[in-house]
Amino acid sequence: MTNRLTIIPAIDIIDGKCVRLTQGDYDQKKIYNEDPLEVAQQFEDAGLTRLHLVDLDGAKASRIINHKVLEKLAGRTGLLIDFGGGLKSDDDVRIAFESGARQITGGTIAVKKPEVFESWLRQYGGERIILGSDVKDGYVAVSGWQEKSQLELFPFLEDYLQKGVQYTICTDVSKDGLLAGSAVQLYRQIREEFPELKLIASGGVTTMDELEKLQEIGCYGAIIGKAIYEQKISLKELTSFVTH
């Protein structure tokens, strides 16, 4: 029996509002709702239990900015929130957890300052620190996908598995925000190579069929953003993954 795929809706925040970018481009921004709490409550009402909350202002500023939004969502819903975007210092991570994050995601920091990311893993444990592994042409992408590092994805994952990482959110940058399908083949390869890693697929998920495929190959979860906001997948349809 394959484990049931965990559906993780996404809320991206700029200026306190719920937005989506296309391929990480701030010039391709669309505001979907002025009130992220309203959106989060709709997710919770549909029976979803998790939320991927991204501080896009923070990602740009390289420090936490929208922690008040996090605090509000954590305080007024029961959603388990993983929070990311610009977390660079011990203080940023402390503020995120104090504001109600259940987990935090670090991507660029894991590439550029591995010693800092490793110290978070030691302090908080692999249950609470998610590795963000954004990928472009087989290499890890950093800094809001604006640059491609010299690190190949598979050795990068291998290295952090040894250091205690349990979860990774893997986004194929070429797929993100285009509603053109996710990188199923890439995820299949990751699952074959690292079966013990809890793999969360992200970027381009557009259809229920894809979610079934991601479940079949053994992904732990799937992050869905634009497909919900553009009504390609309804919250009602997603309840099939929630109800047992």
Could you give the residue numbers annotated as active site?
Answer: 12, 134
Q: What is the rounded CA–CA span in Å between residue 201 and residue 69? A: 24
Phi, psi of 203 (to 5 degrees): 105, 115
